């Protein structure tokens, strides 16, 4: 197996360590480090705290949640970090995580879904999928279920459509709109690097 670039490796260690901490420390970890809606103090715990906009990404709901996010980081994150370099990859990761968290906070404040804590780095993994589809649109990726190859650009559309439909249905406790927020944050970061609208060009920031 090829050696993982540093930021991707550290992210894998962070989410693994966060999950182990959840198993050892229990609900106290979620109270302080999950992303709680603004004004949720009545639900118990401290409610929203600023560091939760980053710390929520290190926690996960269960092992399956952790496994699939880790798999996406390994498959897509390593390729993109090797292409962009570690500094830009970290910038991209922060943009996706923050955008996903802010999307969840805003929609929660608007009452789109019941107040509940959010955990998981899925906002970043959806952003990585979008970036991979933009940079390598015709590269084929193998689905696990069903095990068929799909071009990256179509896989992005499929995942985005599923997230939108599931979010609108409100049928599950998964933060589908946060996934779309992560995609939006990643898209804006790439547009910024390319000097494209809604950002003005301020010198060469070429990202193919």
- Given pLDDT bands bounded at 50, 70 and 90, which one contains residue 66? very high
Helices assigned H by DSSP within the chain: 6-25, 27-33, 52-55, 63-72, 78-84, 86-109, 122-135, 152-169, 176-194
| CB contact at 8 A, 60 and 35 | no
| CB contact at 8 A, 130 and 183 | yes
pTM over 0.85: yes
Residue 1 has pLDDT above 50, yes or no: no
Joined together, the tokens standing for residue 169 give 């249905």
Q: Is the peptide bond before 146 cis (omega within 30 degrees of 0)?
A: yes
Q: Can you tell me the distance from the alpha carbon of 186 to that of 168, in angstroms, rounded to the nearest whole number?
A: 22
pLDDT in tens, 77-136: 999 999 999 999 999 999 999 999 999 999 888 877 777 889 999 999 999 999 999 999
Residue 199 has pLDDT above 80, yes or no: yes
Q: Can you tell me the distance from the alpha carbon of 48 to that of 40, in angstroms, rounded to the nearest whole number?
A: 7
Residue with tokens 């962070």: 14
The CATH number given to 6-194 is 1.20.1540.10
pLDDT at 31: 87
- Output the average pLDDT for the chain: 88
Hey, where are the domains in the chain? 6-194
């Amino acid at each position: 197996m090829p050696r993982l670039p540093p930021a991707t490796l550290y992210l894998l260690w962070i989410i693994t360590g966060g999950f182990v901490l959840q198993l050892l420390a229990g609900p106290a970890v979620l109270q302080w480090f999950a992303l709680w809606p603004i004004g949720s103090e009545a639900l118990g715990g401290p409610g929203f705290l600023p560091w939760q906009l980053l710390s929520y990404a290190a926690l996960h709901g269960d092992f399956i949640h952790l496994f699939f996010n880790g798999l996406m980081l390994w498959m897509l994150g390593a390729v993109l970090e090797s292409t962009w370099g570690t500094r830009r990859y970290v910038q991209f990761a922060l943009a996706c995580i923050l955008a996903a968290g802010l999307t969840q906070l805003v929609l929660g404040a608007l009452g789109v879904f019941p107040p509940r804590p959010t955990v998981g780095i899925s906002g970043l993994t959806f952003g990585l999928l979008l970036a991979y589809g933009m940079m390598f649109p015709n590269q084929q990726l193998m689905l696990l279920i069903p095990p068929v190859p799909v071009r990256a650009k179509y896989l992005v559309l499929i995942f985005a459509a599923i997230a939108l439909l599931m979010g609108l249905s409100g049928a599950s406790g998964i933060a589908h709109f946060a996934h779309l927020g992560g995609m939006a944050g990643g898209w804006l970061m790439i547009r910024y690097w390319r000097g494209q609208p809604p950002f003005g060009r301020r010198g060469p920031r070429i990202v193919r």
